[in-house]
């Protein structure tokens, strides 16, 4: 409680400090804009008045000079009096002393004033008093972490019955990182986070957006998840396949070489779910199917085969046929196409009395594809709880993600 309360205080103080800074900046910008508007009106309106004043002052100055010249002519010497009067008369005839420039009427002269509506303060006050809330409990919480090879299945649930979610938002970060990053946004309440390093702590948190709302709810309490399972990887070096940098995606290239691409190690254990997902390779279309195409698991790597449709293997072909130890079952699943997801689940159901020395060993296998599944028992002559996985495609364009 104390940790979340401290964090909430820090968030509130930071948010309102940011608001104060932003509001001051906006008010300063508005003030500057209004002052510039006053300056522009003043300069534009005062110009004709200044010109009118200059003309009047010039006329008064000219009349004053002429008046002094007339007084000098009247009071001067008699010999020069006629000459000065003559000059005065000529100047007086050329000066229009009885005219003034047009002066703008009072109604045409601007009178500036500031119009400030006090209701802005009322609006701001009402908005500020309603801004922000403090929630004691987020409407969604993290519920479960399930280890996956190179990943973690994260589940969450709604804890507020009155809350109607529109979207969920899941974030995670390494324990050594400073920032969370989005990993999922959608309506599902679980998500497999891939590219997780084994034996490393990760923090997760989830929030939700209410129906018809834009803002997200408060975050759930961050929780730590980890996986001890190494990621599934395809083996390198097979000429017909190109691998991603993490070696969890295999692309059937246009090489003429064919064969089965196996996993690097027997990393699939009974009790887990193994998932194959067909991914579109860029703008290309999915590869042409072939009856030998296969996705599945096997007891051991056996080179020299061009398909997993063989002994000590169970698989599904791209046309949906299921093979157990090389024999096709009567039950069939939907065809594997671009975007399809195929899962394998296995559990031990019977150990023979001499299982480590060749006795019967039975696994219950569930293969699911496109919301349909088949369940059968796979009988082996040896104990085997960790298996290889593999794929084989005859034509280029197939791209498979395994997790």
* Domain identity same for 146 and 29: no
Domain around 312: 241-402
Measured torsion, CA atoms of residues 324, 327, 331, 334, in degrees rounded to the nearest 10 = 80
pTM more than 0.75: no
234: in domain: no
* Domain identity same for 254 and 381: yes
User: Roughly how many angstroms between the first and final C-alpha of the chain, as a whole number?
Assistant: 37
* Domain identity same for 76 and 148: no
* Domain identity same for 173 and 221: yes
Question: Which residues contact residue 313 at a Cβ distance below 8 angstroms, ignoring those fewer than 6 apart?
Answer: 296, 297, 298, 299, 323, 325, 326, 390
311: in domain: yes
96: in domain: yes
* Domain identity same for 22 and 145: no
Residue 211 sits in a domain of what CATH number? 2.60.40.10
Domain boundary among 76, 102, 130: 130
* Domain identity same for 273 and 351: yes
Per-residue pLDDT of the chain (403 residues; tens, 9 = 90+): 788 788 889 989 999 999 999 999 999 999 999 999 999 988 888 887 887 788 888 878 888 877 887 777 777 666 666 777 777 777 777 776 566 666 667 777 778 888 888 888 888 888 888 887 776 678 899 999 999 999 999 999 988 888 888 999 999 999 888 899 999 999 999 999 988 999 999 999 999 998 878 888 889 989 999 999 989 999 998 999 999 998 999 999 988 888 899 999 999 999 899 999 987 654 445 668 889 999 999 999 998 898 999 999 999 999 999 999 999 999 999 998 888 899 999 999 876 554 444 457 899 999 999 889 999 999 988 888 899 999 999 999 899 999 9
Q: What confidence score (pLDDT) does residue 357 get?
A: 46
368: in domain: yes
236: in domain: no
Residue 279 sits in a domain of what CATH number? 2.60.120.920
Structure-token pair, residue 277:
């997902």
Number of independent structural domains in the chain = 3
pLDDT in tens, 14-72: 999 999 999 999 999 999 999 999 999 888 888 878 877 888 888 788 888 778 877 77
* Domain identity same for 169 and 259: no
* Domain identity same for 6 and 85: yes
233: in domain: no
* Domain identity same for 375 and 259: yes
Domain boundary among 130, 148, 178: 130
| Rounded Cα distance, 120 and 123, in Å | 5
223: in domain: yes
357: in domain: yes
* Domain identity same for 2 and 96: yes
Domain boundary among 130, 148, 166: 130
* Domain identity same for 104 and 76: yes
| Rounded Cα distance, 169 and 323, in Å | 40
* Domain identity same for 151 and 181: yes
């Amino acid at each position: 409680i104390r940790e979340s309360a401290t964090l909430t205080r820090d968030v509130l103080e930071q948010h309102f400090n940011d608001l104060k800074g932003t509001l001051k900046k906006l008010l300063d910008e508005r003030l500057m804009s209004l002052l510039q508007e006053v300056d522009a009106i003043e300069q534009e309106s005062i110009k004709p008045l200044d010109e009118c004043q200059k003309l009047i002052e010039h006329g008064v100055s000219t009349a004053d000079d002429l008046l002094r010249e007339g007084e000098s002519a009247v009071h001067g010497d008699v010999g020069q009096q006629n000459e000065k009067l003559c000059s005065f008369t000529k100047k007086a005839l050329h000066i229009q002393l009885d005219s003034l420039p047009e002066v703008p009427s009072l109604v045409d002269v601007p009178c500036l004033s500031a119009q400030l509506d006090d209701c802005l303060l009322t609006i701001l006050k009402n908005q500020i008093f309603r801004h922000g809330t403090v929630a004691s409990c987020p409407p969604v919480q993290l519920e479960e972490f399930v280890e996956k090879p190179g990943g973690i299945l994260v589940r969450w649930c709604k804890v507020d019955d009155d809350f109607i979610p529109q979207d969920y938002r899941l974030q995670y970060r390494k324990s050594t990182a400073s920032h969370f990053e989005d990993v999922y946004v959608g309506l599902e309440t679980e998500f497999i986070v891939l590219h997780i390093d084994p034996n490393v702590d990760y923090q997760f948190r989830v929030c939700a957006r209410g129906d018809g709302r834009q803002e997200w709810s408060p975050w759930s309490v961050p929780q730590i998840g980890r996986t001890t399972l190494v990621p599934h990887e395809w083996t390198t070096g097979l000429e017909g396949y190109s691998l991603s940098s993490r070696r969890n995606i295999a692309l059937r290239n246009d090489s003429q070489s064919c064969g089965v691409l196996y996993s690097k190690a027997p990393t699939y254990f009974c009790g887990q779910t193994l998932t194959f997902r067909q991914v579109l390779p860029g703008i290309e279309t999915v590869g042409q199917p072939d009856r030998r195409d296969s996705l599945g698991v096997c007891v051991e790597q056996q080179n020299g085969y061009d398909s997993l449709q063989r002994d000590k293997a169970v698989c599904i072909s791209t046309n949906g046929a299921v093979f157990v130890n090389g024999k096709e079952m009567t039950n069939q699943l939907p065809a594997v196409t671009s975007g399809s997801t195929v899962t394998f689940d296995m559990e031990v159901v019977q150990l023979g009395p001499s299982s480590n020395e060749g006795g019967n060993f039975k696994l219950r296998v569930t293969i699911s594809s496109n919301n349909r599944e088949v369940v059968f028992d796979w009988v082996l002559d040896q104990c085997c709880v960790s298996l290889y996985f593999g794929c084989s495609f005859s034509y280029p364009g197939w791209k498979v993600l395994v997790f």
